Amino acid sequence: MRHFKPSLLATAALGFAFVSTIPAYAQAPATAVEAPKGTPWTDTRLDADTRTELLLKEMTQDEKLKLVFGHFATAADWLNARGDIAGLNWKPPVESHHQSAGFVFGVPRLGIPNQWQTDAGVGVASQVGDKPRLRTALPSGMATAATWDRDLAFKGGAMIGREARLSGFNVQLAGGVNLMREPRNGRNFEYGGEDPLLAGIIVGEQIRGIQSNHIISTVKHYAYNAQETNRFTASSNISDKAGRESDLLAFQFAIETGNPASVMCAYNRVNNVYACESDYLLNEVLKKDWGYKGYVMSDWGATHSTIPAANAGLDQQSGYPFDKSNYFAGPLKEAIENGFVKQERLDDMARRILWGLFSTGAFDKPVPVAEDQIDFKAHAAVTQADAEGGIVLLKNTGLLPLATTAKKIVVIGGYADKGVISGGGSSQVYGQGGNPVKDLGLGPKAFPGPLTYYPDSPVEALKARTKAEVVYHDGKDVKAAVKAAKGADVVIVFGTQWTGESLDAELKLDENADALIDAVAKANKKTVVVLQTGGPVFMPWLSKVGAVVEAWYPGTKGGTAIARVLTGEVSPSGRLPVTFAASLDQLPRPKLDGDPKSDTIRTQVNYDIEGAAIGYKWFDKKGLKPLFAFGHGLTYSTFGYSDLKTSTAGDKLRVSVTVTNTGKVAASDVPQVYVSAPASAGWEAPKRLGGWDKVALKPGESKTVTVTVDPRLLATFDSASKTWNVAAGAYEVILARSATDTASKTTVTLNAQKYDVRGK
């Protein structure tokens, strides 16, 4: 039960752990401020920049200071018990929303709204407590990335944003785009996988969807927050060049695609400087190089100073009293009076926050709480579509879709009779209908628990779709499960891996699932495995089973989505957004750095080992054979490719191909375009994903897809001149079904090209 012990970090440092009751503070109704009519900055015909400057001029020093200081919005006894703030008797502001992440005061006299912040990675989250709001959960971020579907990502974000707005929130802590450098990272489920283009675009689309509701979204956690072990103290060490070509590039794509009004800086240090006081990350890369106009908020507990943080480019301290001091309140005022922080810096902080409120529309469109207007039925369809699009069929010897002739289906384990699992931590969404495994005592009761299932049972959904008799066995007693499996036409074993914030995970299934699958598959060859995991796991039983379906954390309609894929009502169309390693020794760091029992150890994590060669790039470079490759995913039809063409008109590399559904059922394909540079170009790895498309085709139908490759994916970054440089030469353009399954290739000659730091 290794997963289920909250680490010292979770209890001592993060410490939501001890929140158990709602305190006796009065919960005031949320007040949505109407901007005073007739003032120049309320004129919506003016652009956000103009309105920002008009308003900024009117603000007093104390009003500006109000905007840059955020409060935690959940009552937590542990905070008052904490040594460094004992006696504070801290309570969340009465204007904040119960059990939410944060609150920042507005300025009613000028029409500046309060900022109500909620976590929103997969839906409107609630902090641990006894009155969570019950909302729609999308599948995990990893699952949405596995859809490779921009449209689904946008729609999912738009759904989150609608529920957030109607729940009274105008700032969403969403947009996790940390690349999977570490498959054991307990938060991989919140993120978009290992490739900067795929993660950046999918997460960017989700952010765009959220903000389409005239509210703010963050992108997070900036940057290199790739493991949970020692997350408050570890230093992620990496060179500028490698970062610009990987993790920073993912942020750049996400920001360009989604235009988030805020960036959340991370807990960890980067090259030994805290991310939230890194002049390099905040002032230089984000604001100067990329021209970012929004504001930087700290993660909860990630501000460590007043003067260094303010001067390095942090614009808003979040979640006080997570931090040890109210650095951006009185201390910031004093630092400005004493000249350690310039007045212009505070003006710039306020300007960026105002710009975020104006540019998204959050300033003009108040967010009164109107929960009864949430259309849960419509939102169920959104999350179901996302889950169906992200389920990856990893292996199939012909057992799927389930034969209509099957008379008896035995389903074993994973609480599949009750529902589907979700990931734990601050992103936790509590679903409508409650937690069907609550009383089974699973997982940690405290943060990052409680372990939460959504009551959409795969077994029930299967029963509704088959004439066969469906029998469920809980799998606790392996021998009894084997006995039950023996007479079945097909056996479906459910294996789960629960992961959560603040804890890294082992790459294996929970409880006895690996042994159970092995034993059942020995007894009945017709065994299908359905996985619900945060990310990659090992599969010691793989050769013995007939089919494997990766359903990730599939969200509030996950059981229905799984059943529809199993029966063939929909053809699976997900593709892996990460590499599944075959063993730990294939990883850049076979042993995870740091010590999960210590919350003071200054762990050094060397990301220059792999540099920009993350995931499939590392496997390619080292000639390693993964268990399942990045981009892999099967379906119930077959596809043919023809007319692979390239063009370089206007110095843009365009690749087109015609895709034909050559099989018997409707399905979607994901043609993937990789590019490979001549050796002289000095790339970090043999090839990079240059683009992709997802096409839904009926049997016999064809479509031509065209992919334009971003020049940064053809270039290397030069840190000295801050330019992207494409080397002249012959490049291979590889049309593929996955990073290891090439369909066809062609060669294109590119001229030497130079682009600025923004890829222009």
Task: Kindly tell me which of 225 and 676 has the beta carbon lying closer to ligand BGC.
Answer: 225
Residues 590-649 that bind ligand BGC (CB under 6 A): none
Amino acid type, 408: K
Residues 196-255 that bind ligand BGC (CB under 6 A): 220
Task: Kindly tell me which of 176 and 558 has the beta carbon lying closer to ligand BGC.
Answer: 176
Distance (Å, whole) CA 246 – CA 260: 19
Task: Kindly tell me which of 12 and 730 has the beta carbon lying closer to ligand BGC.
Answer: 12
| 290, 300, 355, 724: residue in contact with ligand BGC (rule CB under 6 A) | 300
| C-beta separation of 117 from 544 below 8 A | no
| C-beta separation of 473 from 523 below 8 A | no
Three-state SS sequence of 655-667: EEEEEEECCCCCE
Task: Kindly tell me which of 101 and 667 has the beta carbon lying closer to ligand BGC.
Answer: 101
Distance (Å, whole) CA 747 – CA 363: 51
Task: Kindly tell me which of 122 and 197 has the beta carbon lying closer to ligand BGC.
Answer: 122
CB of 615 to ligand BGC, least distance (A): 22
Position 320 contacts ligand BGC (CB under 6 A) = no
Residue 693 designated active-site? no
Other Cβ atoms less than 10 A from the Cβ of 140: the count is 32
CB of 181 to ligand BGC, least distance (A): 17
CB of 701 to ligand BGC, least distance (A): 42
In angstroms, what CA-CA distances link 700 with 196, 571, 641, 659, 696? 34, 16, 13, 10, 12
CB of 101 to ligand BGC, least distance (A): 4
Distance (Å, whole) CA 567 – CA 412: 17
Task: Kindly tell me which of 230 and 426 has the beta carbon lying closer to ligand BGC.
Answer: 426
Position 299 contacts ligand BGC (CB under 6 A) = yes
The beta strand positions in 311-385, using DSSP E, are: 317-320
Coil, helix or strand for 534?
coil
| C-beta separation of 69 from 317 below 8 A | yes
Q: Please give the distance of CA 411 from its chain centroid, rounded to a whole number.
A: 30
CB of 583 to ligand BGC, least distance (A): 30
Say how many residues touch ligand BGC, by CB under 6 A: 7
CB of 271 to ligand BGC, least distance (A): 20
CB of 284 to ligand BGC, least distance (A): 24
Position 429 contacts ligand BGC (CB under 6 A) = no
Position 710 contacts ligand BGC (CB under 6 A) = no
Q: State the helix-helix crossing angle for 196-211 and 247-258, rounded to 10 degrees.
A: 30
Task: Kindly tell me which of 173 and 735 has the beta carbon lying closer to ligand BGC.
Answer: 173
Task: Kindly tell me which of 163 and 693 has the beta carbon lying closer to ligand BGC.
Answer: 163
| 101, 286, 565, 655: residue in contact with ligand BGC (rule CB under 6 A) | 101
Catalytic residue among 195, 299, 456, 504: 299
- Residue 667: exposed, middle, or buried by beta-carbon count in 10 A (0-12, 13-18, 19+)? buried
Residues 157-186 that bind ligand BGC (CB under 6 A): 173
Q: In what order do the strands lie in the sheet with 702-709?
A: 639-647, 653-661, 702-709
| 252, 326, 426, 533: residue in contact with ligand BGC (rule CB under 6 A) | 426
| C-beta separation of 698 from 661 below 8 A | yes
| 3-state helix vs strand vs coil in the chain, percent to 5 | 30, 20, 50
CA dihedral over 35, 39, 44, 50, signed as positive or negative: negative
CB of 356 to ligand BGC, least distance (A): 16
Half-sphere exposure of residue 602: CA atoms within 13 angstroms, side-chain side: 6
Q: Is the peptide bond before 223 cis (omega within 30 degrees of 0)?
A: yes
| 119, 163, 245, 277: residue in contact with ligand BGC (rule CB under 6 A) | 119
Interaction site with ligand BGC (CB under 6 A): 101, 119, 173, 220, 299-300, 426
Catalytic residues: 299
